[in-house]
Chains A and B, each alone.
Chain A
Amino acid sequence: MLPNPFGKRPPLRGVLALYADPDSLLRAAAMVREHGYKGADAYTPYPVHGLSEALGIRKSWVPYVTLVTGLTGAGLGLYFQIWTSAIDWPIIIGGKPYVSLPAFIPITFECGVLIGGTMTLAALLVACGLPDFSTPILDRDITNDRFALFLPESAHDWNETRALDFLKGTQPADLRVVRG
């Protein structure tokens, strides 16, 4: 199911620190888990390597979707060719057998790639909850030249001052509280 792009989302509440370069963000991210913050996220203009590990974000499951849908697509493509050529209306063409397996391989492959590729896109959108036009953009410079660390307000044990103090220690270029 694709998400509703205009549907209401839980508001973003927490503390946002902006850094001028990826290394400062990486250094701060490395300390997040030590300080016991859960569900922290980083926002960057390009994928910064090592961030996911630092923040404890799990590896993406998208490749499994590619594998399974790709194989399914190839299987369906092959089945369709066999069904039309040998079962639904068998016709001898060029003296070849009804199930001309070598001749069916190119389309089997193309079906696998077509289904696998389009489903990879679908899986990416589902995984990221995109399209999403309701969650606010934290800072316009995140897609330009700012590297952000966001600590969300958790249900219990949330102390805004403590979070601000912790982030202040990481020397961000900018620090602010986000309320919905």
Chain B
Amino acid sequence: MSDHAAAMNEPPLIDSKKTFADITAEVAAPLERKPGLLWKVAFTISLLLTIQFFVEIAYQMKKGIGIWGLHHPVGWAVDITNFVFWIGIGHAGTLISAILHLFRQRWRTAINRSAEAMTIFAVMTAGLFPLIHMGRTWFGYWLIPYPNWRFLWVNFRSPLVWDVFAVSTYMTISIVFWYVGLVPDLASLRDRSTGWKRGIYGVLSLGWRGSERHWQHYERAYMMLAGLSTPLVLSVHSIVSFDFATSLLPGWHTTIFPPYFVAGAIFSGFAMVVTLLVILRKVFRMEDYITLHHLENMNKIILVTGMMVGYAYATEFFIAQYSGNEFERFTFLNRAGGPYLWAYWIMVTCNVIVPQVFWWKKMRRSIAVMFVVSLLVNVGMWFERFTIIVTSLHRDFLPSNWAYYRPTIFDYSVIVGSFGFFFMFFLLFCRFLPAISIAEVKSVLWTAKQNAKPAAKRAEEAAHAS
């Protein structure tokens, strides 16, 4: 594999002049120094947004979900848009950690940890929305099949129940996968620290000692978790799309939804990873680890998945016209030219047109360009979900039912609140846990060191070893 990278003339994933100790020290550095002003400001803003989010939720539980702009026929709007948006964001983490692991894409080593953390926080954020969307949140446990005095079980034929299982399984397995990856690094931190910090890292690392007998089990277990997570990640957004696809509403009732949602999820998730990493590598001085090469690879994936999403938009539109069903036709013409045409065209511009700049290598490697594109992609992906949900609902079969959904201040409150909630956890993660997988980067470093040697020296060593 290392020979493959050398033969393909790929840039090394890490500077081969670094030592193993450099990696431990540099990744641990942000955890060991006092937080900077930038971090404090960002954390305060996120915390305030989170507080207003929970105040909004409390008020909404008292008054009911009518305080949002919901009314007949738009019963699902910003709440479900945010749910699908955040679940989608969560997909990149598992894709990077599991699927790229199975395909032995070693550039994932520098970014998998933060991407997995992002997944967990995104799924946590997403999980709030179905709960508050229920209105009577305190009956949330009714979603779970448990023996009760009504002798009733949940309806296992309902995609909404599948969702409960899919999202909670995804959350659990993501945490397990993330934690298993963290254990050796927590042991590294334990062995660097003293006092109460050593105690905390010691407990969290479970007493990991790096024994080969343990690594042997560890690597196989990690591979198994990657193997389980790969179909899992594809299933989760497929199941989310079933919430719509199994209904009879034109604009929702389509078979393209599962692959279309999964592609969109990977697209938006990678964009969020790029946004976060551009900031992370700058603030925590990780440019040597999260290199332009890593970011360029991610931008390539954004380009590809962006075109898959664009293809899905086109197919959807074509099939609607081709179907001969006038309701289906109307729904799509209404999306592109109806009262919500602004949302539709924001979506198309941000998701299909903007990522095309990544055809140029210069653009793929420009921090400023990729930062703006990644932000725009996420704006576009938010509006994609908004378009699917709201424009399909607002003009249904009977024109007398038609209405225009307008978000209220409480809708805006949950949107910004969810971002605050997500960033609050992510900022805490960057402060208290290693944002880069120390152990995995070390194995990449050794490969880089081998490749950096002149060919003659390598041949000599090979002869010596045998």
Q: Closest A residue to B177 by CB, please name it.
A: A117
Query: A123–B214 Cα gap in the complex (Å)?
Result: 12
> What residues of chain A lie closer than 8 Å to B223, measured between beta carbons?
63
Number of B residues contacting the other chain (C-beta, 8 Å)?
Answer: 68
With CB as the reference atom, state the residue of chain B lying closest to A126.
B217
Q: Which of B19-27, B82-90, B281-289, B346-354 contacts the other chain?
A: B19-27
Contact A41 B212 (CB under 8 A): yes
- Say yes or no for A1: interface residue by CB 8 A criterion: no
A154: interface (CB < 8 Å) = no
Q: Does A55 contact B (CB under 8 A)?
A: yes
Q: Is B208 an interface residue (CB 8 A)?
A: yes
Q: Is A143 a contact partner of B191 (Cβ separation < 8 A)?
A: yes
Which listed residue (B155, B220, B443) contacts A93, Cβ 8 A?
B155
A residues in contact with B153, CB < 8 Å: 84-85, 88-89
Q: Does A128 contact B (CB under 8 A)?
A: yes
Closest to B154 in A: A84
Chain B positions within 8 Å of A60 at CB level = 216-217, 219-221
Are the CB atoms of B228 and A125 closer together than 8 Å? no
Q: Are B235 and A110 in contact (CB under 8 A)?
A: yes
**Chain A interface, >50% SS class:** helix
Q: Which positions 203-221 of chain B face chain A at CB distance < 8 Å?
A: 203, 206-221
Does A171 sit at the interface, judged by CB under 8 A? no
Could you tell me the distance between the alpha carbons of A134 and B154 in the complex, rounded to whole angstroms? Answer: 47
Inter-subunit contact B216/A135 (CB<8 Å): no
A90 to chain B, nearest CB (A): 11
User: In the complex where A131-B206, A133-B202, A144-B20 touch, is A107 in contact with B161 (Cβ < 8 A)?
Assistant: yes
Could you tell me if A106 and B211 are in contact, using CB atoms closer than 8 angstroms?
A: no
Q: Can you list, as one digit per residue, whether each of B172-204 has a CB less than 8 Å from chain A (1) or not (0)?
A: 110011011000100110111000000000110
The total of chain A residues at the interface (CB under 8 A) is 66
CB distance from B145 to the nearest CB of A (A): 6
B427 within 8 A of partner (CB): no
Binding stretch for chain A, among B50-58, B162-170, B295-303, B333-341: B162-170
B116-144 at interface with A (beta carbon < 8 Å): none
Q: A116-B228, A144-B20 known; A43 and B216 CB under 8 Å?
A: no
Residues of chain A with a CB closer than 8 A to B145's CB: 80, 84
A132-B156 CB under 8 A given contacts A62-B221, A113-B228, A124-B221: no
Q: Which residue of A lies closest to B166 (CB)?
A: A110
Chain B residues packing against A (C-beta within 8 Å): 19-21, 24, 145, 151-157, 159, 161-162, 165-166, 168-169, 172-173, 176-177, 179-180, 184, 187-188, 190-192, 202-203, 206-221, 223-225, 227-229, 231-232, 235, 239, 242, 438-440, 442-443, 446, 461, 465
A-B pairs with the 8 shortest C-beta distances?
Answer: A145-B20, A84-B153, A131-B206, A132-B207, A42-B212, A60-B220, A103-B157, A124-B221
* Additional pairs, 18, CB under 8 Å, beyond known A52-B215, A103-B157, A118-B172: A41-B211, A43-B211, A45-B442, A47-B219, A48-B443, A57-B212, A60-B217, A60-B221, A62-B220, A103-B156, A106-B166, A106-B239, A109-B235, A116-B228, A120-B176, A121-B225, A130-B214, A144-B24
